[in-house]
Structure 1
Amino acid sequence: MGGTTSPLKRHSSPYSLTTKLFPYSLYALFLLLPIALFRFCFHPFSSPTNPTHPSSSSIGKVVEFCSYNNGRWVHDKMGPLYNGSSCGTIKEAQNCISHGRPDIGYLYWRWKPRRCKLPRFEPYTFLALLSNKHIAFVGDSMARNQLESLLCMLATVSEPNLVYTSGEDNRFRTWHFASHNIVVSVYWSPFLVRGVEKSDYGPNYNELYVDSVDERWTADLDHIDMIVLSIGHWFLHPAVYYQSGSVLGCHHCKALNHTEIGFYGVTRKAVRMALETIIERKGGNDGNGIDVFLTTFSPSHFEGEWDKAGACSRTKPYRRVERRLEGMDAEMRAIEVEEMEAARLNARRFNGRVRLEILDVTKLSLLRPDGHPGPYMYAFPFANGVHDRVQNDCVHWCLPGPIDTWNQIMLQVIKRWNVDSRRVVKLMP
């Protein structure tokens, strides 16, 4: 090769060479083998990634179908992609780091599904797959919580520019990622259907019209390519329900002369109405298709009173055997899973123009009592000592935190959709 002589060729006798190298070989074996074993056990090899661009394999790689809802939380020394100060979109009440939460162990866990792998979130891959698209998060404050998680992870590689804001507490906002021409929006719609929220100046109950969608988000459907729906906790509040112009019933309304019907059936009607509306408006010849996610119910973790210091003070995840999915959490999830399955059957007539997926996060979220702001929904709540009463948030999630996993799973579904769509194109004549 190029005239270079191997140093091994200088030795005419193989026996002579072996005799000289044998002691060094033993030395290398006994010295390096323990080091190699230590390195493999504690620092497994990882595939190199391009820090600036997504590889073609990360976008086009076949993604196996996986039931991500079954698994366990395992310790992960890598930690989150971002921190509380690197992203300007986090609502202060969920910015646990900047509000002085002293423990940071909750940041170092990752979700490990039972029968497949869940890769670390790849911001560049997400941006590449959603180029020139509009993705909208629609629902209550959980939708906003998930949206802000996604924005913060994407902001590690591309700057989101806030281009629109409106409503109380900026409940309607839009960002633009110029690098990939992606629009990301959030629409406040805690019932998905039309509703009047309770207020300090009106009735102390919500009013829902279960046979009429909320046009605050459906009016923009023509311009939305992907939608993430997320509701649940607002249905627990007192409410009066209307259908076909008359009172259907109510929930927790003893002072009113209406039939108590609870909230499960109404939750089902709202989810069904929203999904049917999306399918009809986006699936027909006049629609331009859409991808739809429905995020399942996110459990809260109050232990005792909401205004006690230890309302959600755990600092580690539950093990699977410590907490079962049951009661209201299980029922709300079941409603959403069932309605999504029915919607997928309904959408088949549109030949793939409407793709629907349940984002099943209830079980994995149930095991994370350590991931809520708790008293750190306020900045440094114990700066002047521990008080008898302090408000806790054991519903929303710290950012960074367990909710980042929701977007990890969502990206895997998007990657699978991308592979499936390329297969379809390849099979077409």
Structure 2
Amino acid sequence: MTFDFWLHLLPQTFVVLWAVSLQLYYVNVYAVQNNQLNEAQGCDFSQGKWVVDDPYYPLYDASSDCPFIVQGFDCLRNGRPDQDYLKYRWKPSGCDLPRFDGMKFLETYRGKKIVFVGDSISDNMWQSLACLLHITVPTSNYTLTRLTNHRYVFTFLEYEVSIIWVKDGYLVDTFRDREKGRILKLDSITSGNLWSGDVLIFNTYHWWFHTGKTPIYFQVGNEIMKDMDNVEAFKIGLTTWSNWIDSNINPSKTTVIFQGIAAAHSGENDCLKQTKPEEGSKPSYPGVDIVQSVLSNMKNHVYWLDITLQTQLRIDGHPSIYTGRGTSYEDCSHWCLAGAPDTWNEILYAVLLES
């Protein structure tokens, strides 16, 4: 081959080498960006342990700082004598939760609505968040309004930020029949018009398994059943909710979070006279696998705020007999404030503002 031939190929060779180099560059940049993303979002908040963080915790005094907290959650006001339960911080295994910055939260969500939809465990978290934000701006005017028996709104007027709780324990439709009592329509949701906000935080679990004395019937299509397994009913109902989210929520405008399953401690090892968290691992909690399966099959991304292990370990965190209803009543399902729900909101803060 002549020198003129090689000279003729030189521009083409340069173009090929340039294209290959450019492709490798973008692959490398993508890999770096992807690694950075994994590092930013890679901390598993669900695994960890409770550690003493005194004097930073508790984050507030429910009675003096947040007088709007309901009596049943304010354990100190109800006479609980021990106070060590107030001083624990959740320490994830691979990282630290960022400190809750209420001012940053209010400024970021100025003019927005944060909506909790679910049972009284959602109420626990809703009241905790309202308090965490209120102590940031204690002189800022707020309103607390009960629009209906199932909708409560806490609004920071200066920032036009509303923290809303929609009481909806099953998420699917329920109605009462004169003969059968309460019937759950497992494949129907008509209350979704109330689920309107910039951040939606859903919770459902306890009502599916704490039915009380009133028998519950389940309906799918036109068929009404009494003997359906509650776990199967929960799976069908949660799937109906997930389909509603996928069909009705625009993920570019609304952030959706599933609050997860908070462990209860009723039964033989109840929470009475428990003053310290437990340690170590715990067996899988009923229903967690269903939540994980349903969320993983959704079209829209829903962040799973997995609080099960941390609540399994907090046998000391319940009101127990300190609910204000007398010592004959013991509550091992809900949570004292200040307490464990503050950690749920620290995770919420990390997910919304830090990741």
Q: Which amino acid aligns with 1:240?
A: Y
SS class of match (2:164): strand
Query: How far apart in 1 are the matches of 2:40 and 2:164?
Result: 27
2:244 is aligned with 1:298: no
- Partner deviation per Cα, 1:295-350 (whole Å, 9 max, x = no partner): 11111112439xxxx753210000115xx133xxx23112112211111xx12xxx
Query: How far apart in 1 are the matches of 2:125 and 2:199?
Result: 14
Show the counterpart of 1:277: 244
Query: 1:86-165, aligned counterparts within 5 Å?
Result: 86-158=65-137, 159=140, 161-162=142-143, 164-165=145-146
- Partner deviation per Cα, 1:366-412 (whole Å, 9 max, x = no partner): 00000000000126x46xxxxxxx11000000000111101111111
Per the TM alignment, residue 205 of structure 1 is displaced from its structure 2 partner at its CA by: 5.4
CA contact (8 A) 1:63 1:415 kept: no
Query: How far apart in 2 are the matches of 1:160 and 1:301?
Result: 38
2:340 is aligned with 1:340: no
CA contact (8 A) 1:192 1:214 kept: no
Show the counterpart of 2:275: 315
Query: How far apart in 1 are the matches of 2:116 and 2:176?
Result: 19
Query: How far apart in 2 are the matches of 1:195 and 1:89?
Result: 30
Query: How far apart in 2 are the matches of 1:209 and 1:361?
Result: 28
Show the counterpart of 1:263: 230
Q: 1:357 aligns with which of 295, 298, 303?
A: 303
Query: How far apart in 1 are the matches of 2:306 and 2:131?
Result: 22
- Distance change >3 Å, CA 311–CA 226, structure 1 → 2: closer
- Partner deviation per Cα, 1:59-78 (whole Å, 9 max, x = no partner): xxx84421111111111102
Query: How far apart in 1 are the matches of 2:313 and 2:249?
Result: 36
- Distance change >3 Å, CA 360–CA 101, structure 1 → 2: same
Query: How far apart in 2 are the matches of 1:172 and 1:142?
Result: 15
Show the counterpart of 1:209: 185
Show the counterpart of 1:80: 58
2:349 is aligned with 1:403: no
Query: How far apart in 2 are the matches of 1:279 and 1:335?
Result: 18
2:45 is aligned with 1:68: yes
Per the TM alignment, residue 82 of structure 1 is displaced from its structure 2 partner at its CA by: 1.0
SS class of match (1:207): strand
Per the TM alignment, residue 197 of structure 1 is displaced from its structure 2 partner at its CA by: 6.6
SS class of match (1:212): coil
CA contact (8 A) 1:137 1:143 kept: yes
Per the TM alignment, residue 79 of structure 1 is displaced from its structure 2 partner at its CA by: 1.2
Question: Which sections of structure 2, spanning at least 5 residues, go unmatched?
Answer: 1-38
TM-score (norm 2): 0.81
- Distance change >3 Å, CA 160–CA 92, structure 1 → 2: farther
- Partner deviation per Cα, 1:261-314 (whole Å, 9 max, x = no partner): 21112212222222221232222xxx9721011011111112439xxxx75321
How many residue pairs match? The answer is 309
- Distance change >3 Å, CA 134–CA 100, structure 1 → 2: same
2:166 is aligned with 1:220: no
CA RMSD of aligned residues (A): 2.2
Query: How far apart in 2 are the matches of 1:149 and 1:204?
Result: 37
2:283 is aligned with 1:325: yes
Higher mean C-alpha displacement, 181-190 vs 116-125: 116-125
Q: Which amino acid aligns with 1:157?
A: T
Per the TM alignment, residue 160 of structure 1 is displaced from its structure 2 partner at its CA by: 6.4
CA contact (8 A) 1:94 1:396 kept: yes
Question: Which sections of structure 1, spanning at least 5 residues, go unmatched?
Answer: 1-61, 251-259, 348-354, 383-389, 418-429
- Distance change >3 Å, CA 167–CA 204, structure 1 → 2: farther
SS class of match (1:190): coil
Higher mean C-alpha displacement, 225-234 vs 175-184: 175-184
CA contact (8 A) 1:160 1:175 kept: no
SS class of match (1:103): coil
* Regions of 4+ moved over 3 Å: 202-206
Structure 1 vs Structure 2: percent identity of aligned residues? 26
Per the TM alignment, residue 362 of structure 1 is displaced from its structure 2 partner at its CA by: 0.5
Query: How far apart in 2 are the matches of 1:92 and 1:160?
Result: 22
CA contact (8 A) 1:124 1:157 kept: yes
Query: How far apart in 1 are the matches of 2:310 and 2:179?
Result: 36
Query: How far apart in 2 are the matches of 1:414 and 1:372?
Result: 27
- Distance change >3 Å, CA 364–CA 160, structure 1 → 2: farther
Show the counterpart of 1:376: 322
CA contact (8 A) 1:96 1:373 kept: yes
